[in-house]
Amino acid sequence: MKTAIHADLLDFTADPGLDDPAACGVRWRADHWLLIGEDGRIVAVQPETPGDDWQRIDHRGRLLLPGFIDSHVHAPQLDVIASWGTQLLDWLQTYTFPAEARLADGAEAARCANDFLDALLAHGTTAAAVFATVHAGSADALFEGALARGMRVLTGKVLMDRHAPPDLCDDVDTALAECRALVQRWHGRGRLAYAVTPRFAATSSDAQLAMAGRLLAETPGAYLQTHVAENLDEVRWVRQIFPDARSYLDVYARHGLLGPRSVLAHGIWLDDDDRRSLAAAGAHIAFCPSSNLFLGSGLFDWRAARASGVAVSLASDVGGGTSLSMLRTLADGYKVQALAGLRLSAWALLHAATRGAAQALELGGEIGTLEPGAVADVTIWDWACGPVAKRRDALARGLHERVFAWLMLGDERNLVECRVAGKALFQRMAG
């Protein structure tokens, strides 16, 4: 069915920079129609009402955006979100590993995957780079659920052959066989892509990291996702385990794991040489502000990353982060950068969770934009919910001020509808 949605449309045609409310590249089309073809792709944007051969949906006065892209999130950690009192390494032992062990059961893995994917959609996220667990079945479940929903999802089984509980450790040969089988079943099917996923340097041996590099090289279009330099204790531990590496990041570089489809979460404790290496490889950092605050990991230096030419996307990192809402994540991102004296614009934040993230993932022609030909992964939002936000919205002076207030005060309760390839997969209940 051809669908036309009437709303206020906002997306980007260029990078708006970090701190300019008047930046170029912001495309605002109030009171327009978004036309979605039968193939689920955007046909056009126009001010005129389309003809009777279109199903017309009126969201006049509401905000329509490309769906959010969460570039780093852990499906099994929904069960431990908002758990008290630990930093990263204790967090893994106390909360994360026990939760992930439960996904050895296939039925539990399927329940977790479906709950997680539905939760993403209910928060306005239509695409994500997702960590499963060490169990191949957990990756199968995520792929299967994403395929059924038509979502753009990058995932793969976690690689972890040491420094973890025995029931969560694999070995090099078994892991390689399982990864290749998953690639054969899922990579390139629908809107799915395989992501080679060593958890982080400390939990993989040199042999396993080398295997991951070979797997990445032999799988055209595959991604690499992992963690880097999140926590100072972690950084010191990695230095002890890999004494010959120049830095934490260098561990990955030595094993062929840095490239234009490499997504490295956090990157708080990097130096200038690391940032130059990332930029040269075309790899990018998934900035996880809510998680960094909650676990006390540190404050990411976005300005330094940008100065070095390193792309940055935004990510929830649930369950280290405390919400799947990208609005809450963006608000925390603003606060983290404000502590460093950088006042991010609303445009910088939104761009890094839509067009900027899509481009960093080499998906700029498919998602993160309202350009004709792009897949119609779109979300519709109320500008304000509740008396405080409504009063603030009514007093906003200009578009940037209004959008910034929406980012700071909004959350998943503002979401009216979430569409993937034109199909409404989440609609807020009336009342």
From the first residue on, what is the mean pLDDT of each consecutive set of 10 residues in the chain (431 residues)? 97 98 97 98 98 97 98 96 91 94 96 98 98 98 98 98 97 98 98 98 98 98 98 97 98 98 98 98 98 96 98 97 98 97 98 98 98 98 98 97 98 98 94 56
The residues that bridge with 29 in the sheet, in sequence order, are 9
The residues that bridge with 177 in the sheet, in sequence order, are none
Q: Which strands, in side-by-side order, build the sheet including 423-427?
A: 42-46, 26-36, 3-12, 55-66, 378-381, 415-420, 423-427
HSE value, Cβ hemisphere, 13 Å, CA-based, for 163: 17
Q: How many CB atoms lie within 10 A of CB 86?
A: 15
Helices and strands (H, E) in the chain, number of each type: 16, 16
pLDDT at 431: 56
CA-to-CA distance for 290 and 251, rounded, in angstroms? 26
Q: Which residue type sits at 277? A: S
Which residues lie below 8 Å from residue 426, measured CB to CB, with a gap of 6+?
Answer: 118, 121, 122, 415, 417, 418
Positions of E strands within 37-143: 42-46, 55-66, 68-74, 125-131
Q: Which domains does the chain have, with CATH numbers?
A: 3-66+372-427 (2.30.40.10), 68-324 (3.20.20.140)
pLDDT at 121: 98
**Alpha carbon 337 to chain centroid, angstroms:** 19
Burial class (CB in 10 A: 0-12, 13-18, 19+), 62: middle
For 242, phi and psi rounded to 5 degrees? -120, 70
pLDDT at 88: 86
